[in-house]
A = this chain, B = another copy of it.
Amino acid sequence: MRDFSQGHEWLSINTATVRKQWRLDRIVDECARRGIRAISPWRDQVAAVGLTALAKQLRDAGVVLSGYCRGGFFPAADEAGLQAAIDDNRRAIDEACTLRAPCLVLVVGSLPGALDGKPAYRDIARARAEVRDGIAATLEHARAAGMPLAIEPLHPMQAAERACINTLEQALDLCDELDAARGGALGVAVDLYHVWWDPKLAQQIARAGRERLLAFHVCDWLSPTRDLLNDRGMMGDGVIEIRKVRGWMEAAGYAGFAEVEIFSDHWWSRPGDEVLDTCIARLRSVV
């Protein structure tokens, strides 16, 4: 297992972590000057600075991506909506290619309209089928572009609005169904926040293996957690056995970045410098 205590070369910052403090170009600068080698940006943040400009800035700064956030949200109330989602995912793949991302992270979606409080239907099995079909329809373009898709299982408390894939086992079953050859085009993003509770976590990480383990997101689960969306904890402030799970990841062959992704009203209210410096310190002491 890699020793993270002496440096932070394997740290990546998911740019949502400081999205309320800084625009994306500033985030890249702040990471670069701290020796943070990688980021994972969100599409809306990229659009705000411009795709081409960002690609150039990243090259100049020597900062790479650990992933691109995000594709997904496949289910829809009608055929036009389903097709629009597939088209949008193809654009996301092209953007990810421009940014030389190692993978496009998929938050797959669930009951259409639920994010706005108006679910068009309640049949989660239908949403799951639409996710399967949407990924299948996207996979061809992803393979042609050489851009792996990383299915991110989300916490079951987000099953209605954000993702109807809620366990690593479920994500891997889908990978096996759509990419039986394990050709590298389809895998998973393991985000500790979403999967830490799973009694089958160790078993399923081992099952995934190197070909399927495309990203590793770290933060912590606060006890108590006060909000279903924006109360993630900094590593070390909660109850997740982070190093233990990283050990499972590495034993299964994962050798990439540990990407800090913290949606938190608390951390969004702190100075960006403090947040990044804390990420570095906690990576070394906790992760």
Contacts and interface: CB of A to CB of B under 8 A. Distances in A.
Interface residues of A, number: 32
A156 B228 CA distance: 12
A91 to B, nearest CB: 28
Contacts of A155: 156-157
Contacts of A111: 223, 239
Interface string A80-118: 000000000000000000000000000000010010010
Interface in A259-287: none
> Top 9 nearest A-B pairs by Cβ distance?
A159-B197, A160-B223, A156-B197, A157-B157, A122-B239, A170-B199, A114-B223, A160-B239, A156-B156
Interface in A149-181: 155-157, 159-161, 164-167, 170
Given A170-B199, A225-B228, 20 more contacts: A111-B223, A122-B240, A122-B241, A124-B239, A124-B241, A128-B199, A155-B156, A155-B157, A156-B156, A156-B157, A156-B197, A157-B157, A160-B221, A160-B223, A161-B224, A166-B198, A166-B199, A167-B199, A224-B228, A226-B228
Interface string A103-143: 00000000100100101001110001000000000000000
14 contacts: A117-B223, A124-B239, A124-B241, A128-B199, A155-B156, A155-B157, A156-B156, A160-B197, A160-B223, A167-B199, A170-B199, A225-B228, A226-B228, A228-B228
Contacts of A240: 122
A164 B197 CA distance: 8
